[in-house]
Amino acid sequence: MNSIPMLILEDIHKFYDNNEVLKGITLDIKKGELVTFVGPSGCGKTTLLRIIGGFTPLDSGRVILDNQKIDHLPPNLRDTRICFQNYALFPHMTVSENISYGLKIKKWKKNKIDERVEELLKLVKLEGLGERMIDKLSGGQQQRVAVARALSLEPKVLLLDEPLSNLDANLRLIMRGEIRKLQERLKITTIFVTHDQFEAMSISDRIVVLRDGEIQQIGPPIEIYEHPTNEFIAAFVGYVNFLDGVVDILDIGLNRAIASTPIGKIQFVPERSFSAGEKVKLVIRPETIELSRSEPATKLNVFQGNVEIGMYVGSLAKYTVQVMGEKIIIDQSNPRETGVFKTNEKIYLSIPENIHVLMRQ
């Protein structure tokens, strides 16, 4: 991947009647990058993808592909290919006929088509299934045919609309990895749409979080998870404990701040400057809190709590712990027999110092 933008979206607006479903989308996607659009149902993911692919007209803004403005062009004259959510395969055709459809329209010679189809079947691991009818394939195989068809003309940008949502959980996990491997091998610029935040986290170079037709945040998965810019994003990517606080001591020299919260004073490393008296919201992920039976040697950010609910799920134990009337969710990874806490047990919580902190109105 390099830093040349392959696709540029400039201030895209879209209305359906009086309903503005895209409210000024601006975004650069680099060559070879896999970017995921993620957000709740109805936030505008499919509409944006269709605008890029040429299936839905935009009301204002520009789409620029490889230095060329393309938003006025019909889909077949754009170097983009879309895989629709329901795959939209031709059910009365074989696998090969589906994959070669676009090549025939472009009037490729028969021997070239056969060669290309073989290559694509191999690529998506469907060798030997070229003559099979679509309805005799499993969901995962159909998904691969759809990807092969989309790749047949080597588009500059591949657009995948919730490509895995029709598959069962196990297959989804496998196909997720395969799509990523294929994308990396072909170095094809790809936009992947999903409403599943974990899918987005695991597959992307960068994630674009959408909400009500607006971009909330753009960044690599780790940045979105550890430095969400608002409460919506923090809660959308995994569970989170929010603690309201007020900054009462700030020591820039020592690079630390203290906030008063309902459970007591919490010291944190400030990611930006805060002023005393500022209202904040501490964002504390369940897996960052440590639990112990005996009082930890370090007294920093240590609180006493009472186990309200404990759920042992093998690789993980999930607890709801009451601390000064607040319910705190904690994930204990790799719990061992002696380390599993019981309901009503008194325990100590250690909260880390590197806490992400949001503004609070």
Ligand X SMILES: Nc1ncnc2c1ncn2[C@@H]1O[C@H](COP(=O)(O)OP(=O)(O)O)[C@@H](O)[C@H]1O
Contact residues: ligand X, CB under 6 A: 16, 21, 39, 41-47
For 50, 91, 268, the CA distances from 259, given in Å and listed in that order, are 46, 61, 8
CB 213 within 8 A of CB 22: yes
Nearest-angstrom CA–CA distance, 210 and 18: 20
Least Cβ distance, residue 58 to ligand X (angstroms): 13
**Site for Mg ion contains 47 (CB under 5 A):** no
Least Cβ distance, residue 156 to ligand X (angstroms): 23
Q: Which stretch binds Mg ion (CB under 5 A): 32-40, 41-49, 141-149, 268-276?
A: 41-49
Q: Specify the residue, 144 or 211, whose C-beta has the smaller distance to ligand X.
A: 211
Q: Which stretch binds Mg ion (CB under 5 A): 45-53, 135-143, 245-253, 281-289?
A: 45-53
Q: Specify the residue, 3 or 41, whose C-beta has the smaller distance to Mg ion.
A: 41
H/E stretch holding 20 reads: strand 19-30
Token pair, residue 158, equals 């591949």
CB 296 within 8 A of CB 347: no
- Tokens 């701040």 belong to 257
Q: Specify the residue, 51 or 167, whose C-beta has the smaller distance to ligand X.
A: 51
Residue 361, CA atoms < 13 Å, CB-side half-sphere: 2
Q: Which stretch binds Mg ion (CB under 5 A): 8-16, 28-36, 38-46, 224-232?
A: 38-46
Q: Total number of residues binding Mg ion (CB under 5 A)?
A: 2
- Nearest residue to Mg ion, by Cβ distance, number only: 46
Least Cβ distance, residue 249 to ligand X (angstroms): 43
CB 236 within 8 A of CB 194: no
Q: Which of 226, 184, 225 is nearest to 203 (CA)?
A: 184
**Site for Mg ion contains 80 (CB under 5 A):** no
3 state SS of 148: helix
- What are the two backbone dihedrals, phi and then psi, of residue 15, each rounded to the nearest 5 degrees? -115, 140
What is the Cα Rg of the chain in Å?
25
Q: Specify the residue, 39 or 310, whose C-beta has the smaller distance to Mg ion.
A: 39
Q: Which residues pair with 327 in a beta bridge?
A: 322
Q: Specify the residue, 99 or 167, whose C-beta has the smaller distance to ligand X.
A: 167
Nearest-angstrom CA–CA distance, 223 and 68: 31
DSSP string, 159-190: EEESTTTTS-HHHHHHHHHHHHHHHHHHT-EE
Return the biggest CA–CA distance within the chain: 76
Q: Specify the residue, 200 or 240, whose C-beta has the smaller distance to Mg ion.
A: 200
CB 53 within 8 A of CB 159: yes
Residue 16 binds what, of Mg ion, ligand X, none (CB under 5 to 8 Å, by partner type)? ligand X
Residue 43 binds what, of Mg ion, ligand X, none (CB under 5 to 8 Å, by partner type)? ligand X
Residue 170 binds what, of ligand X, Mg ion, none (CB under 5 to 8 Å, by partner type)? none
- Tokens 């895989």 belong to 83
Q: Specify the residue, 27 or 117, whose C-beta has the smaller distance to ligand X.
A: 27
Residue 332 binds what, of Mg ion, ligand X, none (CB under 5 to 8 Å, by partner type)? none
Residue 54 binds what, of Mg ion, ligand X, none (CB under 5 to 8 Å, by partner type)? none
**Site for Mg ion contains 46 (CB under 5 A):** yes
Q: Specify the residue, 58 or 282, whose C-beta has the smaller distance to Mg ion.
A: 58
Residue 47 binds what, of ligand X, Mg ion, none (CB under 5 to 8 Å, by partner type)? ligand X
Least Cβ distance, residue 196 to ligand X (angstroms): 12
Least Cβ distance, residue 50 to ligand X (angstroms): 8
Q: Which residues bind Mg ion (CB under 5 A)?
A: 45-46
